[in-house]
Amino acid sequence: METLPPAPIALVARAADFAPHLNRFLTISRYLMGGSQSGEIMAWKLMFASAVLAVARTMPRVFVAPQGPAVVSDNAMEMELKPAPINPDWVLDGNPQARSSEQSASADGAAYTAIWDCTAGTFRWYFGWDETVYILEGEVHVTDADGGTRILRAGDVAYFRGGTWATWKIENYLRKVAFMRRTLPAPASFIYRASDAARRRLGRRKGGALN
């Protein structure tokens, strides 16, 4: 499978889609630079440079060939877990004892898979990254920030958006697989989407299965 790295040609290809988001930025830049055409060009250059720097900071190994094994597999029920204490300020009731173990990580450090378990208790939890969970054993009562409630049991899958809080109530025991993905800054996310779109277009031209 061919993958195109973020590149200026991809940005040009998606410029029309991203233009509305730049409107305010360009308006301010034109005002500060006297409304000249050269000022607007400079604004675009600054925006592009900021996006590239954001990617460099967020994904420092994005252009480095992945290292390590191509496949990592384990038995989720037999992995050795180590204590992963819950922030005491988040605990609302009981004495929940959590453990975890990293199963694998992406080469760029932007995604992880882990096994996590916890004993009975009620606590708030902050999702710093996007997280998809698959319940292996037990059940948990989840209340989101808007007051919505649901019960997750063995076999259920749920997605928690990064930057949000939820309250978890575990009656007895819970064991889950957690798939975590770092949320990219807006400029970095734009570059990724633009390069991905260019990759799909190239695949259609070649008649390949890149999308």
CATH of the domain at 175: 2.60.120.10
Q: Are 125 and 38 found together in one domain?
A: no
- What integer pLDDT is reported at residue 15 of this predicted model? 44
Q: Are 126 and 200 found together in one domain?
A: no
CA distance 158 to 116: 15
DSSP of 85-135: PPPGGGEEEE---EEEEEEEE-TTSSEEEEEEEEEEEEEEEEESSEEEEEE
For the chain, list residues with pLDDT below 50: 1-19, 60, 62-63, 210
The predicted model scores a pTM of 0.61
Per the domain annotation, does 177 fall within a domain?
yes
Per the domain annotation, does 104 fall within a domain?
yes
Per the domain annotation, does 40 fall within a domain?
yes
- What integer pLDDT is reported at residue 200 of this predicted model? 73
Q: Are 21 and 103 found together in one domain?
A: no
* Residue 37 CA, distance from chain mean position: 37
- What integer pLDDT is reported at residue 126 of this predicted model? 97
Q: Length of the chain in residues, anyone?
A: 211
Per the domain annotation, does 73 fall within a domain?
no
Contact 176, 117 (CB under 8 A): yes
Q: Are 43 and 98 found together in one domain?
A: no
Q: Are 99 and 147 found together in one domain?
A: yes
- What integer pLDDT is reported at residue 193 of this predicted model? 65
Per the domain annotation, does 75 fall within a domain?
no
The packing angle between helices 15-32 and 186-206, to 10°, is 140
CA distances from 27 to 34, 44, 147, 190 (A): 11, 11, 40, 20
- What integer pLDDT is reported at residue 32 of this predicted model? 55
Across 132-170, b (16+ Cβ under 10 Å) vs e yields ebebbebbbebbeeeeeeeebeeeeeeebeeeeebbbbb
- What integer pLDDT is reported at residue 201 of this predicted model? 73
Q: Are 95 and 53 found together in one domain?
A: no
Per the domain annotation, does 66 fall within a domain?
no
Which amino acid type is present at position 63? F
Q: Are 51 and 141 found together in one domain?
A: no
Q: Are 18 and 51 found together in one domain?
A: yes
Per the domain annotation, does 2 fall within a domain?
no
Q: Are 91 and 161 found together in one domain?
A: yes
Count: domains in the chain: 2
Q: Are 106 and 55 found together in one domain?
A: no
Pairing of strands 149-153, 157-160: unpaired
For residue 50, give its domain range: 8-59+187-206
